[in-house]
């Protein structure tokens, strides 16, 4: 049995779809971290009926829960204090995202006017599809 050192105070990101942990690691800029971070790959999860990845961060960092919810709302965030789970943060698919997704419509104001904010509203939480506020184009962001 593989033993993974527990963390004292920080964050455990669990139920990450297998293979996505490394991408999330770079999204969260954990490669630049000067504190302890563990990326654990291919852990069997009964709940997921397959493999998952886990990231353990031995530090309190600000996580963008909207962004994580957009990527995959089934990811779980555990806040650790004194080596125990102090809080579980529930993710949900955000209703509105600003400057995360880009509109692909070349005639859209966000393409024409470079400085306009990219504002999207949730259309379908199942598909995680979004509608551009300006041109109504539908975008399904890269999610897992
Ligand atoms: Zn648009």
Tens digit of each residue's pLDDT (9 = 90 or more) over 92-140? 999 999 998 889 999 999 988 878 899 999 999 988 999 999 999 999 9
Domains contained in the chain, CATH given: 10-89 (3.30.70.140), 96-139 (2.30.30.20)
CA distance 28 to 63: 8
Give residue 115 CA to ligand 1 midpoint distance, Å. Answer: 13
Give residue 75 CA to ligand 1 midpoint distance, Å. Answer: 29
Select the more confidently predicted residue: 42 or 111. Answer: 42
Alpha carbon dihedral 21, 46, 75, 87, in 10-degree steps, equals -120
pLDDT of residue 6: 78
- Which CA distances in Å does 111 have to 76, 115, 118? 35, 9, 9
CA distance 124 to 109: 23
Q: Copy the structure tokens of residue 112.
A: 């024409």
The answer to whether residue 3 scores a pLDDT higher than 60 is: no
Q: Do 36 and 61 meet the contact criterion of CB atoms below 8 Å apart?
A: no
pLDDT of residue 5: 64
Give residue 96 CA to ligand 1 midpoint distance, Å. Answer: 14
pLDDT of residue 33: 95
Mean of pLDDT over the chain = 91
Q: What percent of the chain clears pLDDT 90, i.e. is strictly above it?
A: 70
Give residue 91 CA to ligand 1 midpoint distance, Å. Answer: 26
DSSP 31: G
pLDDT of residue 119: 96
């Amino acid at each position: 049995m593989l033993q993974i050192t527990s963390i004292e105070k920080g964050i455990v990101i669990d139920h990450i779809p297998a293979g996505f942990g490394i991408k999330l690691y770079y999204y969260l800029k954990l490669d630049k971290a000067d504190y302890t971070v563990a990326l654990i790959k291919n852990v069997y999860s009964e709940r997921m009926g397959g493999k998952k990845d886990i990231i353990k961060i031995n530090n309190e960092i600000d996580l963008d829960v909207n962004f994580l919810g957009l990527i995959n709302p089934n990811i779980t965030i555990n806040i650790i204090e004194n080596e125990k789970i102090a809080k579980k943060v529930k993710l949900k698919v955000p209703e509105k995202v600003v400057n995360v997704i880009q509109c692909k419509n070349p005639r859209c104001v966000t393409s024409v006017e470079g400085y306009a904010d990219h504002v999207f509203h949730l259309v379908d939480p199942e598909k995680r599809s979004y509608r551009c506020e300006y041109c109504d184009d539908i975008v399904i962001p890269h999610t897992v």
